[in-house]
Amino acid sequence: MHFQSLVVSLLLATSVAAHGNKTESTQGECKEIEQLNGLVKLASNTTKLDEITKNNATKIAEIQAKASTASTKLTTLQSNTTLVSACAVIDAQEQEDDGCQETFALQRFVKFAANSTAVADATKNNATKIAKIQAEASKASTKLETLTSNSTLQADCPAVQQEDECKVMKTLQKFVDVANNQTKLDKLTNGNTTKEAEIKAKAAKDQTKLTAMTGNATFVAACTALEGKGTTGSTSSDGISSQSTKNAASLLSGAGAGFIGLSTAVVVLLGMIAL
């Protein structure tokens, strides 16, 4: 987990260096500040450096050289007080979003753990694994209580959930569109008709979900409103990728509360997968 997030941070830091000269949006600049900060912080933590480089002095020197450049860039960016205040607002919003996402993930996990049929299925009735899930669920419940008792955070969560669901709707729509476009489908599957049949079967299920969503006028109106505000991150056609960029950015924020929050949820979910 740690290692993975750091690899991500290094990759992103490299791409930051490569794109550093482009005129960027405020949001992009804030993300850059976050990434640069992560890199500088990493370079100053010798324990962590040793850990991720496996004590390779060459690699350490490389990272430190990058961090030195990053530090200069950071000073320049942070001298812009307008930008710094704008970033504080964006960060606060992202932290709330992360808190909500964590709430949702923990709720799903606790619900799953309370369903003995689902747990038995997932673990193939292995008592050791079941015990592990119950132990995790107990921790998850405690964490969930903390999160749900924060009324400031929870006030934001219905909107975040709506936003998530709008993204799901878009993803379903995209998938269905592909499945309905024979030209595209042929291209994607290299004409493998078995694969095409699989995709079409899945698309048929997705279409059912999609119909339920688009049939709800309140729901559709809420999505349209969100898009108008540009908060879905998907006014361009790639809502999914901008969302994952955001997640990567939160991973990067290192010691930020958002990170701790998110990582707990991710660890819980990874724990489930690793069973």
d(CA 29, CA 177): 34
Contact 49, 63 (CB under 8 A): yes
Helices 26-44 and 57-78 cross at an angle (nearest 10°) of 140
- By CB under 6 A, is residue 181 in contact with ligand NAG? yes
Counting other chains too, the contacts that 109-117 makes at CB distance below 8 Å and 24 or more residues apart are 109/136, 109/137, 109/140, 109/268, 109/269, 109/272, 110/137, 110/140, 110/141, 110/144, 112/272, 113/137, 113/140
Based on CB atoms, which residue is closest to ligand NAG, 4 or 56? 56
- By CB under 6 A, is residue 59 in contact with ligand NAG? yes
Q: Judged by CB under 6 A, which of 153, 160, 203, 265 binds ligand NAG?
A: 153
Which residues in the 127-146 window bind ligand NAG by CB under 6 A? 128-129
CB of 204 to ligand NAG, least distance (A): 17
Based on CB atoms, which residue is closest to ligand NAG, 14 or 181? 181
Residue 194 burial by CB count (10 A; 0-12/13-18/19+): exposed, middle or buried?
Answer: exposed
CB of 80 to ligand NAG, least distance (A): 4
Query: How many residues form the binding site for ligand NAG (CB under 6 A)?
Result: 39
| Span near ligand NAG by CB under 6 A; candidates 64-72, 113-121, 135-143, 264-272 | 113-121
- By CB under 6 A, is residue 93 in contact with ligand NAG? no
Q: Judged by CB under 6 A, which of 99, 233, 239, 256 binds ligand NAG?
A: 99
Binding mask 229-268 for ligand NAG (x = CB under 6 A): ----------------------------------------
CB of 245 to ligand NAG, least distance (A): 18
Binding mask 34-53 for ligand NAG (x = CB under 6 A): -----------x-xx--x--
Binding mask 202-221 for ligand NAG (x = CB under 6 A): --------------x-xx--
Based on CB atoms, which residue is closest to ligand NAG, 21 or 236? 21
Contact 77, 26 (CB under 8 A): no
Apex 54 CA angle, 49 and 57, nearest 5: 70
Q: Judged by CB under 6 A, which of 118, 131, 204, 267 binds ligand NAG?
A: 118
Chain residues binding ligand NAG by CB under 6 A are 21, 26, 29, 45, 47-48, 51, 56, 58-59, 80, 82-83, 86, 95-96, 99, 115, 117-118, 121, 126, 128-129, 150, 152-153, 162, 181, 183-184, 192, 194-195, 198, 216, 218-219, 222
